[in-house]
Structure 1
Amino acid sequence: MPPPRQAPAARAAEAAPPPVVARPPARASDEQVQRQYERARAIALGLPIPVHARLPRDGASAEERKPAGPPPPWAYSGPGGPQAWARLRPEYQLCGSGQRQSPIHIEASAALQGPNEALGFDYRPSTGTVVHDGRTIRVEVQGENLLQVRGSSWRLESFDFQHPAEEVVDHKGFAMGVHLVHRNAQGQTAIVAVLLQPGAENPFIERVWTYIPLDAGDMVRMPLAWIDLSTLLPADQRYYQFFGSLTQPPCTEGVLWMVLKQPVTLSAAQLRLFAQLFPANARPVQALNGRIVRDAQ
């Protein structure tokens, strides 16, 4: 005899799954509690989270998650060398994007030939402070040393040395260079570059070398009237003239450059002393980018 037929409601009730009974949350094991404690303590103290206490979202250790340190200071080699200057600081961007950068390679055959506006040097015996800034020797000049050119009066503020010279003329380099940095009343900059080659001892260089500081960051004051910049200049003061930039960060453009054609000499011993301190502190030549170089004859 067939079983009695069940009502639909009874069949649905029979097929329904049993009700879910909520279970109390699982108690963390002593090991899990210890890991949570160690993780929280490390975060609070700024310490690396122990590997066994990390969560998947932690990823790298606290040490690895620290922000990157400051960029390396600008230099003439290594990570902070000329190829990286533009990336070191936002204010150095012109070092990479500028169109009138210095130094340049001067080719006499391509220069604009013309009459010579004589450079009006009025240099007098002065004193100054010799600074070793870790990249070069710079002399901050005190005194009224003036340059008259292009209808303006420019006051000498400082001069510094490069080894080798940053300027290249007709594919020829020079052993050292001196940049005489001037500014006028409008805050514009004019730099006279003096080229140096090995030869006879240079009395002006000898006076500066006498007061070279012993270490980077050190500075030494010269006696009164110790230096006379006019004794550094060559007898022939014809020059090349162009607009460029500072040759160190921030590579500011709009600088009036005058590169004296005739080199002056310094002795092998004088050159060797500087080279021991600064084996290479010159920026490579930069693209001309269609600039006019005037050959002031």
Structure 2
Amino acid sequence: MGDQQSPINIGRTVTTPDLVDQLEIGWRPDRFSVRDGPDGVRLVPLGTHTAHLSDQAYRLANLHFHRPSEHWVRGRPMQAEMHAVHLRVDDRLHACVIAVFLDLEGGPGEDGTGEPPTEVDLPALLPDGGFHRYEGSLTTGEFTENVSWVVMREPVVVADGGLRAFVRAHADHARPVQPLNRRFVLTTG
């Protein structure tokens, strides 16, 4: 492990107005298969979903969840966090993880049984507002420092009762926050 470990506590940030133009997310509702591995339950999309970050193209590899959140904001964790892990199209060793804070309290409809969902409305899990960006590591497995993190600033209320129940029942534990060291956290203006 090196000096760029994740997750972090997001405190001081550097406002970068043109940062918002460096991210384009191409998500749509889709069906998912379930993969239960050593690091927890992963939802693998059946279709293709993309993210473009700083002129690099990435494809969605899996979704997984942490409860409480792994990233903290000004010294506090959030209820839960979704990680949408994208791998670079031309170099699958580099990842872009889009992290979204989740509010599991609200939302219409009854909660489900906790079974993994086979369909997820990805655009409904993408909040309006800006994001933070920094370079870091995977938060499971080898903790490889090959991740460009995009942490959305605003939480999303999970409207799908089945997904709420699944996250409550099957979210991974959170890795403790790691030192920021000499890194900067950029944020949209």
Cα 1:159–1:136, aligned 2, differ >3 Å: closer, same or farther?
same
1:59-87 Cα offsets, whole Å, 9 max, x none, are xxxxxxxxxxxxxxxxxxxxxxxxxxxxx
Distance, in Å, in 2 between the alignment partners of 1:157 and 1:183 is 6
Aligned partner of residue 117 in structure 1, secondary structure: helix
Structure 1 partner of 2:15: 113
The partner residue of 2:34 within 130, 133, 147 is 130
Counterpart check, 1:157 vs 2:52: no
Structure 2 partner of 1:295: 187
Structure 2 partner of 1:192: 98
Structure showing the higher helix proportion among its residues: 1
Cα 1:254–1:274, aligned 2, differ >3 Å: closer, same or farther?
closer
Structure 1 partner of 2:131: 239
Structure showing the higher strand proportion among its residues: 2
Residue type of the alignment partner of 2:20: E
| Contact kept in structure 2, 1:121 and 1:146, CA below 8 Å | yes
1:93-130 Cα offsets, whole Å, 9 max, x none, are x2xxx1100000010xx211111323211112322212
Identity %: 27
Structure 2 partner of 1:227: 120
1:1-297 equivalences in 2 (<5 Å): 94=1, 98-107=2-11, 110-115=12-17, 116-118=19-21, 119-133=23-37, 135-184=39-88, 185-187=90-92, 188-201=94-107, 211-212=115-116, 222=118, 226-236=119-129, 238-266=130-158, 274-277=167-170, 281-297=173-189
| Contact kept in structure 1, 2:99 and 2:150, CA below 8 Å | yes
Displacement of 1:202: 7.1
Gaps of at least 5 residues in structure 1 are: 1-93, 213-219
Cα 1:249–1:113, aligned 2, differ >3 Å: closer, same or farther?
same
Cα 1:178–1:169, aligned 2, differ >3 Å: closer, same or farther?
same
Displacement of 1:251: 0.3
Higher relative contact order (CA 8 A, sep 6+): 2
Distance, in Å, in 2 between the alignment partners of 1:271 and 1:228 is 13
| Contact kept in structure 1, 2:135 and 2:147, CA below 8 Å | yes
Q: TM-score, normalised to structure 1's length?
A: 0.55
| Contact kept in structure 1, 2:125 and 2:158, CA below 8 Å | no
Cα 1:249–1:287, aligned 2, differ >3 Å: closer, same or farther?
same
Aligned partner of residue 230 in structure 1, secondary structure: helix
Structure 2 partner of 1:90: none
| Contact kept in structure 2, 1:136 and 1:281, CA below 8 Å | no
Distance, in Å, in 1 between the alignment partners of 2:91 and 2:62 is 17
Q: Root-mean-square deviation (CA), in Å?
A: 2.6
| Contact kept in structure 1, 2:5 and 2:178, CA below 8 Å | yes
Displacement of 1:135: 5.0
| Contact kept in structure 1, 2:115 and 2:166, CA below 8 Å | no
Q: Which has the larger radius of gyration?
A: 1
Q: TM-score, normalised to structure 2's length?
A: 0.84
Cα 1:145–1:295, aligned 2, differ >3 Å: closer, same or farther?
same
Cα 1:135–1:149, aligned 2, differ >3 Å: closer, same or farther?
closer
Distance, in Å, in 2 between the alignment partners of 1:145 and 1:275 is 25
Structure 2 partner of 1:81: none
| Contact kept in structure 2, 1:199 and 1:265, CA below 8 Å | yes
Gaps of at least 5 residues in structure 2 are: none
Aligned partner of residue 253 in structure 1, secondary structure: coil
Aligned partner of residue 231 in structure 1, secondary structure: helix
